[in-house]
A and B are shown apart, each in its own frame.
Chain A
Amino acid sequence: MSAPWADAAGTPRSRPPVGGRGWLLAAAGIALITATPLAVALMSLLNPDREVWEHLAQHVLPRVLVNTAWLVVAVSVLTGIIGASLAWLTATCEFPGRRFFNWALLLPLAVPGYVLAFALAGLLEYTGTVQTAMRHTFGDAAGLPDIGARAASIATLTLALFPYVYLIARHAFATQGVRALEVARSMGMSPARGFRRVALPMARPWIATGVALVAMETLADFGTVSVFNYDTFTTAIYQAWFALFSLDAALQLASVLLLLVALAVVTERRFRGRARFEAVGSAAAGQRINLARRPALAASAYCSVVFLIAFLLPVLQLLAWAVQTYPAEFDPRYLSFATRSVVLGLSAALLIVTLAVLLAYAVRLRPGASTSVLARAATLGYAIPGAVLAVGFFVAVAGMGDALTVLARWLAGPGAAPVVLTGTVLTLLLAYSARFLAVGHGPVESAMQRIRPSLDDAARGMGVAGFSLLRRVHLPILGAGIATAALLVFVDVMKELPITLMTRPFGWDTLSVRVFQLTSEGHWQRASVPALAIVLAGLIPVLALNRRSG
């Protein structure tokens, strides 16, 4: 007899759900947060305002589409090449400085694109540090060519985002280990050929995932392209909303951008193909390919150049500016910028971690297709650009306010004051939740996986149940995951720009908003002080990540 609930050893595998219907409702409620802006965008896509649409189709869409396509394709290809090659070098080869670059190449993760953009521009523009030095040394004719907004945006986003591919591909190369390459060598392939025929194809699903993340981040980017005045969907949404004051146009653009995101997601699925995430053999560490002198020096030089341009030089530039401008620039206002950033980060972290824990328990206590679909839907928001979430939630929250106003007037008569929710932190927190729930859910979910059902049974068998079970078993095991989740969300919110900029309550300037305001007016030196604060916060999770994977 083979029963569907029994595995080979005869242990019941999926038991009837123990949680009540409330858990299903909780999961549905959390998924509803992400579904709201999607529904708003979809409705606008299905009911286009003809006048608005014609204006956009004539004056905005062609340029924005071309610009966005260039950006996404170029940044994806370049980050794929740079990220995968660096990952392969540090994971499987031995060369001077490898151990340092192994973790140092993750440091650019701490620098948001909009900070890297103005730091690099400050370094390299005509009046910048590098060109001034060149003119000093070689005479007035010396200098760098002007590469234009498109190339500048592509280069900056590539340098800011390649660590995603690097991190994921490095894991792939390290775990597939030298074993796979040894198989190739035993069949008479040279190391280079083995890389092409074995290591690269095996790492392909990971590289594709990394590149897909980069493509989504590129589509979502608002700050970097703003610095270079390169018009993409996100800047067009901002322009339509805050320069033309047309929320309809912003919403139309947002819904088209959402289609592009969907396209990117589907493309990634297709490209990943049927390849599976599996390692061959165990990770045999230490057995690296010893590069000969010349290739080894070339590898060191390559890593150094990327590290210098993507992290060290920009950060040094920020430091230099900060030292110059700090006495004049720093005033009590900065305390309030920083306080708001921290308060927003903490409240978002608290809210999102709570939602993530509820979601993880819903899946645990009511296992089944419905909760797992809801959990996947709820964590879809990481793919939706902040600008889209900002518009979508603004419209939804405005609708909520109108509905409440109608209710209030029905209850208290026509004289009741209108309910206005749009200028509150509600929009902000909802949009943060949608965008960063996946970030918070990941660590909580993987901690939850460690609490096997038999742990609950074992504890109950020893008389430990109910709240005592939660305190003595669940919380200690979940604790580290919850802390990681809170830290990641906190830092992401500190760095976040488009949602904060577009939906913050009046006068609620944060560090990131301050950076945007100063850079859009060309005050790059002055922007260095808040930018450095953001970079410092961003370094915390990167260093923690390194310590764990090191």
Chain B
Amino acid sequence: MLTIEGLVHAYADERVLEGIDFTLEPGRIGCLLGPSGCGKTTVLRCVAGFERPAAGRITAAGRQLSGPGLHLAPEHRHIGMVFQDYALMPHLDVAGNVAFGLGRGSRAGRDRHAPRVAELLALVGLPGLERRFPHELSGGQQQRVALARALAPEPALLLLDEPFSNLDASLRERLAIEVRDILKALGTTALVVTHDHQDAFAVADDVGVLNAGRLLQWDTAYNVYHRPANRFVAGFVGQGVWLPGVVRSPGTVETAIATATGRMTQPLPTGTEVELLLRPDDVIHDDGSALKARVVNRRFRGPQFLYDLVMPNGQRLLSAVPSHHNHAIGEMIGIRIETEHMVVFPRTEAIGGVGPAHAIVIE
């Protein structure tokens, strides 16, 4: 559906994208995830046609949009886009905005498109708001109008630029799931850009992690979390602690605090010195365990406590524990290590000076 090959982009002399490649299959929702300034929005703007790539090829629905000597203008691409600031026309009411891409803006067209507008507003959960103006709507409502407007011309591909960044936390997740349901119901292929991994997991089938203009991994959301391609990806999509260890046999890593078993993300020969990622859900609270750790800090997360733990040897750990296990700071609690997916990287890849008592906590 959407194929990007060797995409390179530069502003003036500075290269922002250094050869991006990925393919998004029809009907799937892809998401580009990365920190500010990593180039993810630039990829989106290249696909939409607002930026002209320095090199590479962009193909959508079997039609080449950009390539050597070719740059189709945005107005000829038939690609929908939802903007970060929604970009609703302030001089048009909701109906006028939704119908904007349908006709030539004439009065007759307005009546002709009324049924389609009503249908779209019902789809995004705003029935009957045709006569409101953008400034009379809440942020969440504006977002939905922007989505309806982008869907109106039935685009082959829909692009969403940081669609949830202007909404408050309580609304984000709900709207992310709603948007996913709408896109899935219509079978629309979509590419979303966000800096928040929770947004990405809530909305996307496929996730690509970008950093400094490079696409580090393009895979299913599940694999990006459980089988990260490198330490940056592992760190960006969730919390955890890196633990130094040694591979004792395929599927077994011995560390200073315990021996972990599970499926390793990459096959490494016995004896390799590695870094093992322990996510908060890999460290299980178990009063019966002989392994004890002291609580040094804790954060209440509603259903869970996130405990900051320190082992007798000084090793720090993070543990997510159901919140009815209420332990005070300073208390010793029993834990056990349960690593079904063992995220390991050879220690040569380590970033920073990592010693046995000096692990890096990523949050």
Interface residues of A in 1-49 (CB under 8 A from B): 1-3, 5-12, 15-16
A: number of interface residues (CB 8 Å): 32
Check A452 for interface membership: any CB of B closer than 8 A. yes
Check A464 for interface membership: any CB of B closer than 8 A. yes
Supposing A468-B104, A477-B91 touch, asked if A458 and B14 sit within 8 A by C-beta, the answer is no
Contact with A along B128-156 (1 / 0, CB 8 A): 00000000000000000000011001000
Supposing A10-B37, A10-B162, A477-B91 touch, asked if A452 and B11 sit within 8 A by C-beta, the answer is no
Question: Which chain A residues lie closer than 8 Å to B195 at the CB level?
Answer: 9-10
Question: Which chain A residues lie closer than 8 Å to B76 at the CB level?
Answer: 463
Contact A461 B165 (CB under 8 A): no
Contacting residue for B37 out of A2, A462, A468, A476, CB 8 A: A2
Q: Which of B41-49, B199-207, B273-281, B293-301 contacts A (4 or more CB under 8 A)?
A: B41-49
Contact A455 B36 (CB under 8 A): no
Check B285 for interface membership: any CB of A closer than 8 A. no
Contact B45 A12 (CB under 8 A): yes
Contact B50 A457 (CB under 8 A): yes
A51 to chain B: closest CB distance in Å?
58
Complex CA gap A458/B212 in Å reads 27
Contact B11 A457 (CB under 8 A): no
Supposing A5-B11, A461-B74 touch, asked if A12 and B42 sit within 8 A by C-beta, the answer is yes
B162 to chain A: closest CB distance in Å?
5
Supposing A1-B37, A10-B37, A463-B101 touch, asked if A458 and B11 sit within 8 A by C-beta, the answer is no
Complex CA gap A2/B36 in Å reads 7
Contact B87 A11 (CB under 8 A): no
Question: Which chain A residues lie closer than 8 Å to B250 at the CB level?
Answer: none
Check A549 for interface membership: any CB of B closer than 8 A. no
Give the nearest-CB partner of A8 in chain B.
B36
Check A197 for interface membership: any CB of B closer than 8 A. no
Check A186 for interface membership: any CB of B closer than 8 A. no
Contacting residue for A457 out of B14, B35, B48, B80, CB 8 A: B48
Question: Which chain A residues lie closer than 8 Å to B42 at the CB level?
Answer: 12
A320 to chain B: closest CB distance in Å?
47
Check A184 for interface membership: any CB of B closer than 8 A. no
Give the nearest-CB partner of A457 in chain B.
B50
Check B95 for interface membership: any CB of A closer than 8 A. no
Contacting residue for A461 out of B79, B92, B193, CB 8 A: B79
Check B161 for interface membership: any CB of A closer than 8 A. yes
Give the nearest-CB partner of B102 in chain A.
A462
Contact with A along B219-234 (1 / 0, CB 8 A): 0000000000000000
Check B85 for interface membership: any CB of A closer than 8 A. yes
Complex CA gap A477/B88 in Å reads 12
Check B84 for interface membership: any CB of A closer than 8 A. yes
Contact B38 A10 (CB under 8 A): yes
Question: Which chain B residues lie closer than 8 Å to A463 at the CB level?
Answer: 75-76, 78, 101, 153
Supposing A9-B165, A458-B83, A461-B74 touch, asked if A472 and B48 sit within 8 A by C-beta, the answer is no
A15 to chain B: closest CB distance in Å?
8
B319 to chain A: closest CB distance in Å?
32
Check A269 for interface membership: any CB of B closer than 8 A. no
Check A454 for interface membership: any CB of B closer than 8 A. yes
Complex CA gap A6/B161 in Å reads 14
Contact A462 B153 (CB under 8 A): yes
Contact B12 A16 (CB under 8 A): yes
Interface residues of B in 10-62 (CB under 8 A from A): 11-12, 14, 16, 34-38, 40-42, 45, 48-51
Question: Which chain B residues lie closer than 8 Å to A3 at the CB level?
Answer: 11, 14, 16, 37
Question: Which chain A residues lie closer than 8 Å to B165 at the CB level?
Answer: 9
Check A57 for interface membership: any CB of B closer than 8 A. no
Contact B75 A461 (CB under 8 A): yes
Contact B100 A454 (CB under 8 A): no
Question: Which chain B residues lie closer than 8 Å to A459 at the CB level?
Answer: 89, 100
B213 to chain A: closest CB distance in Å?
8
Contact A16 B11 (CB under 8 A): yes
A104 to chain B: closest CB distance in Å?
30
Complex CA gap A360/B95 in Å reads 30
Complex CA gap A85/B11 in Å reads 53
Complex CA gap A463/B76 in Å reads 6
Check B73 for interface membership: any CB of A closer than 8 A. yes
Contacting residue for B105 out of A8, A15, A472, CB 8 A: A472
Check A376 for interface membership: any CB of B closer than 8 A. no
Check B304 for interface membership: any CB of A closer than 8 A. no
Contacting residue for A11 out of B16, B77, B84, B91, CB 8 A: B84
Contact A6 B36 (CB under 8 A): yes
Interface residues of B in 221-274 (CB under 8 A from A): none
Check A460 for interface membership: any CB of B closer than 8 A. yes
Question: Which chain B residues lie closer than 8 Å to A6 at the CB level?
Answer: 36-37, 41
B305 to chain A: closest CB distance in Å?
30
Give the nearest-CB partner of B78 in chain A.
A463
Complex CA gap A10/B80 in Å reads 20
Interface residues of B in 311-351 (CB under 8 A from A): none
A449 to chain B: closest CB distance in Å?
11
Supposing A12-B42, A454-B85 touch, asked if A1 and B211 sit within 8 A by C-beta, the answer is yes
Question: Which chain B residues lie closer than 8 Å to A472 at the CB level?
Answer: 100, 104-105
Contact B89 A455 (CB under 8 A): yes
Check A465 for interface membership: any CB of B closer than 8 A. yes
Complex CA gap A476/B93 in Å reads 13
Complex CA gap A454/B80 in Å reads 13
Contacting residue for B74 out of A9, A12, A460, A471, CB 8 A: A460
Of A12, A465, A468, most B-chain CB atoms within 10 Å: A12
A433 to chain B: closest CB distance in Å?
29
Question: Which chain B residues lie closer than 8 Å to A450 at the CB level?
Answer: 90
Check A473 for interface membership: any CB of B closer than 8 A. yes
Contacting residue for B100 out of A2, A9, A12, A464, CB 8 A: A464
Contacting residue for B80 out of A455, A461, A476, A477, CB 8 A: A461
B211 to chain A: closest CB distance in Å?
7
B63 to chain A: closest CB distance in Å?
15
A522 to chain B: closest CB distance in Å?
53
Question: Which chain A residues lie closer than 8 Å to B50 at the CB level?
Answer: 457, 460
Question: Which chain B residues lie closer than 8 Å to A8 at the CB level?
Answer: 36
Give the nearest-CB partner of B101 in chain A.
A462
Question: Which chain B residues lie closer than 8 Å to A10 at the CB level?
Answer: 34-38, 40-41, 162, 193, 195
Contact B48 A461 (CB under 8 A): yes
Of A7, A450, A473, most B-chain CB atoms within 10 Å: A473
Complex CA gap A473/B100 in Å reads 10
B267 to chain A: closest CB distance in Å?
32
Complex CA gap A460/B75 in Å reads 5
Contact A473 B89 (CB under 8 A): yes
Give the nearest-CB partner of A461 in chain B.
B81
Complex CA gap A465/B213 in Å reads 30
Give the nearest-CB partner of A475 in chain B.
B91
Complex CA gap A460/B150 in Å reads 12
Complex CA gap A439/B350 in Å reads 63
Supposing A9-B162, A16-B12 touch, asked if A458 and B41 sit within 8 A by C-beta, the answer is no
12 A-B pairs with C-beta separation under 8 A? A1-B38, A3-B37, A5-B11, A9-B165, A12-B11, A460-B49, A461-B77, A461-B80, A461-B81, A462-B101, A472-B100, A477-B90
17 additional A-B pairs beyond A3-B16, A454-B87, A462-B100, beta carbons within 8 Å, are A2-B36, A9-B84, A10-B36, A10-B38, A10-B40, A10-B162, A15-B11, A454-B85, A457-B50, A457-B74, A458-B83, A460-B50, A460-B74, A461-B48, A461-B79, A471-B105, A476-B91
The 8 closest A-B pairs by CB, nearest first: A462-B101, A454-B87, A458-B87, A465-B75, A6-B37, A3-B37, A460-B74, A476-B91
Binding site for A on B (CB under 8 A): 11-12, 14, 16, 34-38, 40-42, 45, 48-51, 73-81, 83-85, 87, 89-92, 100-101, 104-105, 149-150, 153, 161-162, 165, 193, 195, 211-213
Binding site for B on A (CB under 8 A): 1-3, 5-12, 15-16, 450, 452, 454-455, 457-465, 468, 471-473, 476-477
